[in-house]
Structure 1
Amino acid sequence: MNEIGISLDTVWMLLAAMLVFWMQPGFALCEAGFTRSKNTANILMKNFVDFMFGSLLFFFIGFGFMFGSEGAGFIGMPNWGDLSFYSGDLPVEGFLIFETVFCATSATIVSGAMAERTKFSMYLIYSAAISLFIYPIEGHWTWGGGWLCNDAADSFMMSTFGDVFHDFAGSAIVHSVGGVLALIGAIVLGPRIGKYSEDGKSNAIPGHNLAMASLGVFILWLGWFGFNPGSQLAASGEVNRIAISHVFLTTNLAAVAGGTATMFLTWFKYGKPSLSLTLNGVLAGLVGITAGCDLVSPMGAVIIGLACGIVLVYAIEFIDHKLHIDDPVGASSVHGVCGILGTIMTGLLSTSNGAFYGHGWGFFGAECFGILVIDLWAAACGVVLFYGIKKFHGLRVDKRIEEEGLDVYEHGEMCYN
């Protein structure tokens, strides 16, 4: 029976990995649809590169950084392609694939905020850096047995908060990190030509294909049913069956609540329900529930989704109109702001140790502290990485290339004829 259970768990993990991999075309179509047609081939190419580079670099080095046992809980050791260091019930090759698709997702988030004006050669560098050490190191702190999840009685987290940081599927580890890096990258790049008038007014630059963006969001929604339930890493036995079913439900409820909240808010604010913002509202709900999808009740999932769907609209407005940071797809709001919000709300709405359920504020403090240090790490790495590239080689394409489109100049071909 044990062998049958391990076999079922392995098949479920690999199926979930396939669903998370399917999020790559979702991101590609979503980003391409939200931007202009003259840059579509460039955007599709970048999404392929994220997975190609991410798979190789995570296999050779990043997997060891994330799950290696060395480093006193702050960093593992590079494995140089040797997987023998890892021991677990599930096959290491399957676990590596599952973790690889998560790593690629973190890198892909950054692409959208820096779309339509980034040199492809420089994109290769920062995509590699994210997969090589930025994501694996902070991932080690929680998922790799590091200091944020060390539940020993004398550990820092237990001594300080009486609880450890919890991020079930990556609101913080994947999404907020990608969102913070996206924000830093967009700041360093500067806005697209024509985005802001001399008087500071923000000018809309519509995407070329909302049908493509909508299909991308539907694909991402489907992929999230591997992203969240798959993080249980087991399907055999009554406990796992119940857990997976619960996570499926909370994931979907947060998504629909996020989309509904954004739809009605935009209808109220702008006089018409916005499709593009509603698409991001669905994603905001999905991002927000990812940290606590295993701990919150179905009603808690709805609350998180509603909160993220509402906050998203104001976050996009603030970043665009007040800070004058040009993020073509809203990645810093969807993944950054809502990833942070969802993680924090897990500390409030967890039925087992949340503050709103009478369990005190220790777990909430652990969630706030964890998201803070994870995103400070991402921000520090982003500043060094993007400003370093800008200073030593240049991060942005020339004005003529940006105006005429990156497809021909960067790749010698166009997506549309």
Structure 2
Amino acid sequence: MAAAPAQAAVTSETAYIFNTFSFLIHGALVLWMAAGFAMLESGLVRTKSVTTILLKNLALFSIAGVTYFLVGYNLMYDGVDGGVVGSLGWWGADDSAALNGDFSAGYAAASDWFFQMVFVATAASIVSGALAERIKLWPFLVFVTVLTAVIYPVQGAWHWGGGWLAERGFADFAGSTIVHSVGGWAALTGAIIVGARAGKYREDGRVAAMPGSSLPLATLGTFILWFGWLGFNGGSQLALGSAADAIAIANIYANTTIASAGGVLAAMGLSQLLNRKVDLTMALNGALAGLVSITAGPDTPSLGMALLIGAVGGTLVVATVPLLDRLKIDDVVGAIPVHLAAGIWGTLAVPLTNGEASFATQALGIVAVGGFVTAVSTVVWLVLKAVMGLRISQQVESLGLDQAETGMRAYPEFNLSSR
């Protein structure tokens, strides 16, 4: 039998090119998730607030880009060295070494900034949907500015920036905690402080159904998010310069997809069991919960374990939604069950398939990040409430945010007075 041919290693320049390409193409997929959030939220809010939710999603992505350039990236990555936070100052690219033939950096600097920036915008998008239909536009955008400039980068520095959580062995491959739970905690504090939509919780204890404007849009948004999530998790391999990296990314894609499928089926089955009907919105959020659940560790499970991890996430969504209603916490799109509950579960699930992670360290990271984000978010929300006011007036809420905030209707041919 002939000997197997020797595998030639790629040159450092070729690895540099492939690593840069991975950051760019996977970052572009994550950027496309912004469209997914916009469509999902537009479909799940009522017709009279669709224009405003679209504007919020466009604005928050733009804010995230600017703040991450001016402050966020360096706070998160520059000189953390096992500590708590990096340095102040805006980010600047330096690829002079590569231009002179030294490819030891591994990738183009701007490709890394771009990939990291689109993750920040994802965290901010989570807050948008939860607080829809009753929060003023400008106070919300001020909160997004603080979230993307300070809150997200500081806690991100603890692990991804090489800070104290990284030193303790905390594991969060693509951000079940660092991205999704952060958005979930910020959304939860905001939902409690802003309060529920008028008429959502009635005096007799019943919960009023407030159907969204378009289930087709919400479904489209979910598929876009599912597609973009492949970049979210796959790109977090942070390299494509070897066969081992290519194999790892392929496994991550497969695990990400099967986890989401598990979330869908679990949510469908449980909603059928509890309500004797299948709830499409639960199935959509089950898909997203499966994605969030696998995000902390998509690189180590088998397909079977990834399916199970995603299925638990989908189950948590169906269980958490009525719990929030009992607590009278109004989450318009289900962001808190999807991103917070499933994010916590996904982070705790990492040691099931990753022998280098421990449940104690994972729990420590969850508590530390949750405590920090909750405390700072609460202060920021309360300051904004005192200075600018958070809640729209009853009259504006009745007419809809679109009339008051933009003067534009998403569906002008419809009579929106009763919606």
TM-score computed with the length of structure 2 as normaliser: 0.92
Matches within 5 A, 1:91-106: 91-106=108-123
Per-residue deviation, 1:395 = 0.4
Contact 1:253 1:305 in 2 (8 A): yes
Equivalent AA in structure 1 for residue 171 of structure 2: H
Per-residue deviation, 1:385 = 1.0
Contact 1:295 1:352 in 2 (8 A): no
Per-residue deviation, 1:338 = 0.4
Per-residue deviation, 1:351 = 4.1
Equivalent AA in structure 1 for residue 179 of structure 2: V
1:166 corresponds, among 167, 171, 190, to 171
Equivalent AA in structure 1 for residue 247 of structure 2: I
Judging changes above 3 Å, is the alpha-carbon distance between structure 1 residues 294 and 259 closer, same or farther for their aligned structure 2 residues? same
1:51 corresponds, among 61, 77, 83, to 61
Matches within 5 A, 1:325-404: 325-347=329-351, 349-353=352-356, 363-404=358-399
Instruction: Show the counterpart of 1:13.
Output: 23
Deviation track 1:223-270 (CA, whole Å, cap 9, x = no partner) reads 000000011121121210111011011101100000000001111111
Structure 1 CA distance, aligned partners of 2:89 and 2:13?
A: 28
Contact 1:30 1:215 in 2 (8 A): yes
2:407 corresponds, among 404, 407, 412, to 412
Structure 2: gaps (5+ residues): 1-10, 97-103, 413-419
Deviation track 1:269-321 (CA, whole Å, cap 9, x = no partner) reads 1111111110000000000000011122222111111111111111111011x
Structure 1: gaps (5+ residues): 151-156, 158-163, 355-362
Per-residue deviation, 1:200 = 2.6
Equivalent AA in structure 2 for residue 395 of structure 1: L
Instruction: Show the counterpart of 1:358.
Output: none
Judging changes above 3 Å, is the alpha-carbon distance between structure 1 residues 149 and 85 closer, same or farther for their aligned structure 2 residues? farther
Instruction: Show the counterpart of 2:6.
Output: none
Per-residue deviation, 1:203 = 1.0
Determine if the alignment matches structure 1 residue 142 to structure 2 residue 142: no
Determine if the alignment matches structure 1 residue 123 to structure 2 residue 118: no
Equivalent AA in structure 2 for residue 352 of structure 1: G
Matches within 5 A, 1:10-409: 10-70=20-80, 73-83=83-93, 88-150=105-167, 157=168, 164-320=169-325, 322-347=326-351, 349-353=352-356, 363-409=358-404
Deviation track 1:87-109 (CA, whole Å, cap 9, x = no partner) reads 94211111000000000000110
Aligned residues: 395
Contact 2:95 2:108 in 1 (8 A): no
SS of residue matched to 2:177? helix
Judging changes above 3 Å, is the alpha-carbon distance between structure 1 residues 2 and 380 closer, same or farther for their aligned structure 2 residues? same
Deviates more, 1:132-141 or 1:291-300: 291-300
Instruction: Show the counterpart of 1:160.
Output: none
Deviation track 1:11-35 (CA, whole Å, cap 9, x = no partner) reads 1110000000000010011011011
TM-score computed with the length of structure 1 as normaliser: 0.92
Contact 1:63 1:78 in 2 (8 A): no
Structure 1 CA distance, aligned partners of 2:12 and 2:279?
A: 51
Contact 1:17 1:101 in 2 (8 A): yes
Equivalent AA in structure 2 for residue 183 of structure 1: L
